[in-house]
Structure 1
Amino acid sequence: MLIMFNRYLNLDIISYLPYRMIFSLLTSFFIHLYITPYFISFLKKYQNFQIIRKNGPKKHHLKKNIPTMGGILIIFSIVLSTIIYCNLSNTNIWFVISILIGYGIIGLIDDYKKIKYQNSQGLKLRWKYFLMSIYAIFLIYIIKNNTQDIFHTELIIPFYIKNTFEINYLYLFISYLVIVGTSNAVNLTDGLDGLAIMPFIFTISGFTLISLFSDDINNSYYLHIAYVKNSSELAILCSAIIGSGLGFLWFNSYPAKIFMGDVGSLSLGGSLGTIAILLHQELLLIIMGSIFVIETISVILQILLFKIRKKRIFKMAPIHHHYEEKGILEPLIIVRFWIVSLIFVLIGLISLKVC
């Protein structure tokens, strides 16, 4: 939208990419600083409080009067900043916004049902996955038919000297797993104050850099990454996500005053997966988003081992609850997970040139 105004105002600074990235980040950040206190009061007035799992850590019952559904404001600030500062003729922008809103609606239904029926189950699991799957498949179909390039059937492999691997139509299935899997992984990680949002910010920051490099054919060749025309516009959207995440963290850091709820975690995870697909860096997402992968694997291992041997590998899953049950203080777990996440993001960025 700002690009359109620039045609009439003739201010080159407005269209300068780094400035748009900074303005996008700051706009979404300050939206949170200004609106969130009022939003918290609104949620408290209508008793939209977090529903605590009965079989979760006992300490979490102290958080039962903390408002949830803060993800609504996350989505709002991201979409508003994106509309203001991005070139809206870029279809990649709309792909990410659509998953952000679509998965946000699914998460909102889930949160609403939890609050209405005072039950942590919310939307039934089969319906949740069905809706997420249908939306992901539809989006992948649209992406495939609107971005025709040679990388649609090639998987870029970090740390591998040949760098790409031809997988043909299996790529579509992998894309589906990336979107749905990342969305659920972020959702599983969102169990402690600020635990999910900071690793998410680190990971999306890594993809911000990749989106800038991918838009230049020389840089993409040098770094052995896919050349994606006009991918730099994604950097502005990513900046809006970073700013929104930081603004949310201002109120979500320990002790949290608000939670994002499924409306936030599902939408953010889905948008991260979509950005990875658009940049053709699905496997790099596994490295940079390793915290989310570890959390998901801990749940899978816990379920499988219990079904097979009737034993638990962790005191409680996801793994952050395991450390809670071991008596480690919540802030300590959170900060250490942040550190590990940052290290994995740096490893992921290093892998771009290693091969």
Structure 2
Amino acid sequence: MIVSWLPGMIIAFLMTFIGTRILRDWFMKIKVQQLVIRNAGKGPDHQAKAGTPTMGGAGFISIILVLFLIKQFFFGGMNLTSWSAMMGIVLYAAVGAFDDSIKIFEHRDEGFRFIPKLSAQIFAGIVALLFLILGKFDFTVNIFGMTTNHLIVFGILTIIWLVGWSNAVNLTDGLDGLATGLSVIAYAVYLIIALHQGNLDMVYLNGLIIGSLLAFFAWNQFPAFIFMGDTGSLALGAGLAMNALVLHTPWSLLLIGLVFMLETLSVMIQVGSFRLRHKRVFLMTPIHHAFEKGGITMNPEKPWREWQVDLLFWAVGLVAALVFLAVYFY
């Protein structure tokens, strides 16, 4: 069984490792670079990151898609379920690429405005759902102890999951290598689940993603030579959401994606608290910046370096993943 996906993972690793270096050099020439990060003295100093090439996700998502298509057309067809996952990844990468392009070439810090961006994400989710419908996917899902296979219920869950988790990974992608490392852990869990279920198409797709991310991590770890941008983070979040749905474990992301969820909740709590109480709960959000600014004690006089925050969050992500697997196979 390993033979069916391990070569793809290795090829994805090699192509991404070489391709990312080439892409980085090209992006440097055409100035596809991170803008100056403005924090007005309220957060960690990331000025040194200005000028670092971004949109690295365009590279590894393209490689994953090419290898997926090669498998489809030359080594046996992939079913429509795996196609729906791939389409979700590609479409959310496109939304992210448009967002990145606005920030880079139009010098707009906010990028894609909220309503158009949300509309594009919902549309992308609907397209992914259509592939599931065409593939006669079993829409059975358990919600609060009640089992239903109603298409509308599953469709709403699909949209919420895709929009929510794509943005969750996007919020987490604020430190060198953080989102990349957490994504490797999460996709590894879904590869194991797919193996257990005998879904070799999803095993192969997840293997491609893991191989590419491991190679990208070599260039994205602290200090990063390239960032994945919204192109990569939105796509990775969508891929995780599609894995959870396609493998009939939608609620698994609440544990497998625990760090992503905590990052998102920290922003929601901070915004809500400030609007209602005019007070901030955290030193800064997303919460990885709070740890960067004040360490585990939240003391601004004892800030952490990025790699320290990375190690803590990766450890939390790994423990959460192992706990889920222990429960899943119990």
Q: Structures share a fold, TM > 0.5? A: yes
Of 115, 127, 136, the residue aligned with 1:126 is: 115
Aligned to 1:312: 280
Aligned to 1:212: 195
Amino acid in the other structure paired with 1:110:
D
Measured after TM superposition, the shift of residue 324 of structure 1 is: 1.4
Question: How large is the Cα RMSD of the aligned pairs?
Answer: 1.7
**Quick one: distance in 1 between partners of 2:193 and 2:233?**
23
Amino acid in the other structure paired with 2:291:
Y
Local SS of the residue matching 1:155 = strand
Matching of residue 94 in structure 1 with residue 83 in structure 2? yes
Runs of at least 5 residues in structure 2 that lack an aligned partner in the other structure: 295-302
Mapped contact 1:52–1:120 kept (Cα < 8 A): no
Aligned to 1:244: 212
Of 4, 22, 26, the residue aligned with 1:42 is: 26
Mapped contact 2:284–2:290 kept (Cα < 8 A): yes
Measured after TM superposition, the shift of residue 156 of structure 1 is: 7.5
Aligned to 2:10: 26
Of 52, 57, 69, the residue aligned with 2:43 is: 57
Q: Which moved more, 1:129-138 or 1:182-191?
A: 129-138
Measured after TM superposition, the shift of residue 58 of structure 1 is: 4.4
**Quick one: distance in 1 between partners of 2:178 and 2:4?**
28
Measured after TM superposition, the shift of residue 144 of structure 1 is: 3.2
**Quick one: distance in 2 between partners of 1:26 and 1:81?**
11
Of 332, 342, 346, the residue aligned with 2:308 is: 332
Matching of residue 297 in structure 1 with residue 265 in structure 2? yes
Measured after TM superposition, the shift of residue 92 of structure 1 is: 1.9
Measured after TM superposition, the shift of residue 192 of structure 1 is: 0.1
Amino acid in the other structure paired with 2:327:
S
Mapped contact 1:197–1:245 kept (Cα < 8 A): yes
Mapped contact 2:79–2:135 kept (Cα < 8 A): no
Mapped contact 1:20–1:85 kept (Cα < 8 A): no
In the TM superposition, 1:175-186 aligns within 5 A as 175-186=158-169
Mapped contact 2:9–2:211 kept (Cα < 8 A): yes
Matching of residue 261 in structure 1 with residue 229 in structure 2? yes
Amino acid in the other structure paired with 1:345:
A
Mapped contact 1:155–1:280 kept (Cα < 8 A): no
**Quick one: distance in 2 between partners of 1:89 and 1:270?**
19
Amino acid in the other structure paired with 1:342:
L
Mapped contact 1:51–1:119 kept (Cα < 8 A): no
Of 338, 341, 344, the residue aligned with 2:320 is: 344
Amino acid in the other structure paired with 2:108:
N
Aligned to 1:166: 147
Aligned to 1:7: none
Give the 3 Å change call, closer, same or farther, for CA 333–58 of structure 1 in structure 2: closer
Local SS of the residue matching 1:196 = helix
Amino acid in the other structure paired with 1:199:
L
Measured after TM superposition, the shift of residue 61 of structure 1 is: 1.1
Local SS of the residue matching 1:66 = coil
- Over residues 115-160 of structure 1, what are the superposed CA-to-partner deviations in whole Å (9 max), with x where a residue is unaligned? 11223211111111110011112322431342243xx132278xxx
- Over residues 326-351 of structure 1, what are the superposed CA-to-partner deviations in whole Å (9 max), with x where a residue is unaligned? 11111100011111100000111112
Aligned residues: percent identity?
31
In the TM superposition, 1:124-163 aligns within 5 A as 124-149=113-138, 152-155=139-142
Of 61, 68, 79, the residue aligned with 2:65 is: 79
**Quick one: distance in 2 between partners of 1:90 and 1:302?**
43
Matching of residue 199 in structure 1 with residue 156 in structure 2? no
**Quick one: distance in 1 between partners of 2:154 and 2:64?**
29
Amino acid in the other structure paired with 1:269:
G
Local SS of the residue matching 2:178 = coil
Local SS of the residue matching 1:59 = coil
Measured after TM superposition, the shift of residue 99 of structure 1 is: 1.4
Amino acid in the other structure paired with 1:238:
N
Matching of residue 104 in structure 1 with residue 93 in structure 2? yes
* Number of residue pairs the alignment of both structures matches: 315
Mapped contact 2:257–2:317 kept (Cα < 8 A): yes
**Quick one: distance in 2 between partners of 1:199 and 1:93?**
22
Give the 3 Å change call, closer, same or farther, for CA 250–166 of structure 1 in structure 2: same
